[in-house]
Amino acid sequence: MTPDQVPRSHGYGVRLDPETRRFRVRNEMTGEWLREPGGEIASFTFFDDAYNAWRQFEVHKRPGE
């Protein structure tokens, strides 16, 4: 995913890339994307998997915690 593709993704933290129908995880505090060991942006088929990865990736106090 190149920087010019990022605005097509929708959501906060867990973003849906409508073209690939895959979820991607972004740390909204730092702006960095969760990446695979090879350097590519990680993608998830299921929202729950992406959400769990996001909770580990963007660690800060959230409402109710």
pLDDT score recorded for residue 7: 44
Q: What's the domain count of the chain?
A: 1
Range of the domain at 21: 1-29
Tell whether 23 is covered by a domain. Answer: yes
Q: What is the pTM of this model?
A: 0.72
CB distance 10 to 4 below 8 Å: no
**54 found inside a domain:** no
| Residue 58 maps to a domain | no
Could you tell me if residue 35 is inside a domain? Answer: no
Dump pLDDT digits (tens) for 12-61: 789 998 889 999 999 887 889 999 999 999 999 999 999 999 988 887 66
**21 is a domain residue:** yes
> Do the bridges between strand 43-44 and strand 22-25 make them parallel or antiparallel, or are there none, so unpaired?
antiparallel
